[in-house]
Amino acid sequence: MYVAVKGGERAIENAHDWLAEERRGDVSVAELTVAQIREQLALAVNRVMAEGSLYDPDLAALAIKQSRGDLIEAIFLIRAYRTTLPRLGLSEPVDTGAMAVDRRVSATFKDLPGGQVLGPTFDYTHRLLDFALAAEGLEPAAAPEGTPREEPVPHVTEFLDREGLIQPEAESDATPPDLTREPLKLPAGRPLRLQALSRGDEGFVLGMAYSTQRGYGRNHPFVGELRIGKVAVEMEVPELGFAVEIGEVTVTECETVNQFTGSKTEPPQFTRGYGLVFGQTERKAISMALVDRALRWAELGEDNVGAPAQDEEFVLYHSDNIQASGFLEHIKLPHYVDFQSELELIRKLRREAGQATRQEAAE
């Protein structure tokens, strides 16, 4: 005998209790602290801040703890929190030229003012599992320290700009649009595209960028410069009438220099792709710069070769991992009403097809 399925409420509560237990894991193993995650899983924290669009290492670390290390889930927690926060005002644009760089490399010039600064990078590590790390309590030796450079580190593209070799960017004092406050409208324009890419899924943006390198909308990029470090955030306080520093954030900035042989509307010159992402997130920043450049085909008078990375609508509508994972995973919710109507339809079509076949056989 059929018993109506009740008890959804209890099932949910029990599932939540079980989830909390699983999150904690074996209680004989010490619990992770938020500070430990913030300090020792800093790159995960950075990704959550970048794609969550909220610069707060402690909250990002908490989200990672709560999500059991599922970074997209952590990003979702941050986004859902961020959306409830009041907007107090807008900061001044950050000046990345005045960045206190921890890392700054250029692939286009061997040496340059400000020098090549490797910083804390995996680039030249050998990817050998370090079994010594499995033993706890071994503190690494202190890294040697140098004297930080006093003067600002100039942008590489400024040198090319001075010679007129690189396409100048139009300056604007307009307040950039914000896709978290306005519905997406197409064509989106570059500022909105950059916002979407900056908070887009790292894997998606990486895949799109990689596709341009493999020939789907190739744009010959060089990493003109990649820099990571702290920048001051300034805000104009109405009572004061001038901008004051309210804090600092670590960002990764990538400017690509792209070969460009000219088009119907533009002379031969170098062109740029731009990436700017919260935290030390250089894979994402480089990917962003490549996709940004690919999306600029129209303003540069290039051909649209039909590559996915050239399609603004395709890229912007599919880069957000919270939208994507939500819609993807919702198919596990009940669909039995729809499915029932499909069942009726398929049965009917089969019945009719069967009758038609029998009729033909009889004729």
Instruction: Please report, as ranges, the residues that interact with other proteins according to CB under 8 A.
Output: 1-2, 4-9, 11-12, 76, 79-84, 86, 180-187, 313, 317, 322-323, 325-331, 333-338, 340-345, 348-349, 352
Q: Which is nearer to other proteins, 199 or 296 (CB)?
A: 199
Q: Which is nearer to other proteins, 127 or 181 (CB)?
A: 181
Q: Which residue has the tokens 């020939």?
A: 215
Cis peptide before 267 (omega within 30 of 0): no
Q: Which is nearer to other proteins, 6 or 264 (CB)?
A: 6
Is beta strand 221-237 parallel, antiparallel or unpaired with respect to 100-105?
antiparallel
In the complex, the smallest distance separating the C-beta of residue 354 from other proteins, rounded to whole angstroms, is 13
In the complex, the smallest distance separating the C-beta of residue 50 from other proteins, rounded to whole angstroms, is 16
- Amino acid 333 reads L
In the complex, the smallest distance separating the C-beta of residue 322 from other proteins, rounded to whole angstroms, is 7
Which residues, other chains included, contact 287 with Cβ-Cβ below 8 Å and sequence gap of 6+? Answer: 202, 205, 206, 208, 209, 210, 275
In the complex, the smallest distance separating the C-beta of residue 28 from other proteins, rounded to whole angstroms, is 33
Alpha helices by DSSP H, 25-139: 34-40, 42-52, 57-66, 71-82
Q: Which is nearer to other proteins, 218 or 318 (CB)?
A: 318
Which residues, other chains included, contact 124 with Cβ-Cβ below 8 Å and sequence gap of 6+? Answer: 118
| Residue 124: count of CB within 10 angstroms of its CB | 6
In the complex, the smallest distance separating the C-beta of residue 55 from other proteins, rounded to whole angstroms, is 17
Q: Which is nearer to other proteins, 6 or 162 (CB)?
A: 6
